[in-house]
Chains A and B, each alone.
Chain A
Amino acid sequence: MSAWKPTAGERVFDLFNIVLLAVLSLLFLIPFLAVLSTSFISAEESMRRGAFVLIPERVDFGAYDMLLSRGMIIYNAYKVTLFRVVVGTFLNLAFTATLAYGLARRTLPGRNVLVLIVFLTMIFHGGLIPNYMLIDAVGLKDSLWVLVIPGLISAWNLFIMRNFFLTLPEELEESAVIDGATPAVILLKIIVPLSMPAIATIGLFYAVHHWNDWFGASIYINSQSKQPIQVIMRNILLTGVVHDETQLEFIKDPPPAATLKSAVIIISTLPILLVYPFIQKYFVKGMLVGSVKG
Chain B
Amino acid sequence: MKLWPAVRLHRFYYYLILPGMLYFVVFDYIPMFGIVIAFKDLSPFEGVRGIFTGDWVGFKHFVRFWNSYYFWNVMRNTLLISGYKLLFGFPASIALALLLNELRHVMFKRVVQTISYLPHFISTVVVAGLAMMILSTDGGLINAVIVHFGGEPIHFLGSPDHFRSVLVISHVWQSIGWGSILYLAAMTGIDPGLYEAARMDGAGRLRQAWHITLPGITPVIAIMLILSIGGLLNAGFEKVLLLYSPAVYEVADIIDTYVYREGLTQLNYSFATAVGLFKNVIAMILILGANYIAKRMNQTGIW
Contact = CB atoms under 8 A, between A and B. Distances in A.
Of listed A13, A118, A134, A262, residue having the most chain B CB within 10 A: A134
A237 B269 contact: no
Contacts of A124: 32, 280, 284
Given A25-B111, A108-B13, A128-B264, A137 B280 contact: no
Interface stretch (B68-76, B80-88, B129-137, B158-166): B129-137
B296 interface: no
B228 to A, nearest CB: 13
Nearest to A34: B141
A102 B17 contact: yes
B19 to A, nearest CB: 6
Contacts of A51: 136, 138-140
Interface stretch (B52-60, B199-207, B246-254): B199-207
Contacts of B6: 107, 109
Helix, strand, loop or mixed for chain A's interface?
helix
A287 B259 contact: no
B182 interface: yes
Contact of A125 (B28, B122, B205, B260): B28
B264 A219 contact: yes
B17 A153 contact: no
Contact of B134 (A34, A131, A238): A34
A148 to B, nearest CB: 12
A138 B47 CA distance: 12
Interface in A9-53: 9-10, 13-14, 17-18, 20-22, 24-25, 27-32, 34-35, 38, 50-52
Residue among A31, A265, A269, A288 having the largest count of chain B Cβ atoms under 10 Å: A31
Contacts of A155: 24
Contacts, number: 261
B31 A130 contact: yes
Interface in A94-144: 95-96, 98-99, 101-103, 105, 107-110, 114, 117-119, 121, 123-134, 136-138
A182 B141 CA distance: 64
Nearest to B224: A291
A215 B264 contact: no
Contacts of A212: 121-125
A258 B284 contact: no
A97 to B, nearest CB: 9
Interface string B114-156: 1111110111111011101110101111001000000000000
B52 to A, nearest CB: 12
B121 A208 contact: yes
Given A13-B206, A183-B12, A237 B27 contact: no
A137 B129 contact: no
Given A127-B259, A133-B31, A134-B30, 13 more contacts: A1-B104, A18-B103, A22-B112, A52-B139, A102-B14, A125-B31, A129-B264, A137-B47, A153-B24, A234-B125, A269-B123, A287-B182, A288-B182
Nearest 10 pairs of A and B residues by beta carbon: A130-B34, A126-B31, A99-B20, A127-B276, A51-B139, A212-B123, A102-B17, A50-B139, A130-B31, A121-B28
Interface of A: 1, 4, 7, 9-10, 13-14, 17-18, 20-22, 24-25, 27-32, 34-35, 38, 50-52, 95-96, 98-99, 101-103, 105, 107-110, 114, 117-119, 121, 123-134, 136-138, 149-150, 152-153, 155, 158, 182-184, 187, 208, 211-215, 219, 230, 233-234, 237-238, 258, 261-262, 264-265, 268-269, 272-273, 276-277, 280, 283-284, 287-288, 291-292, 294
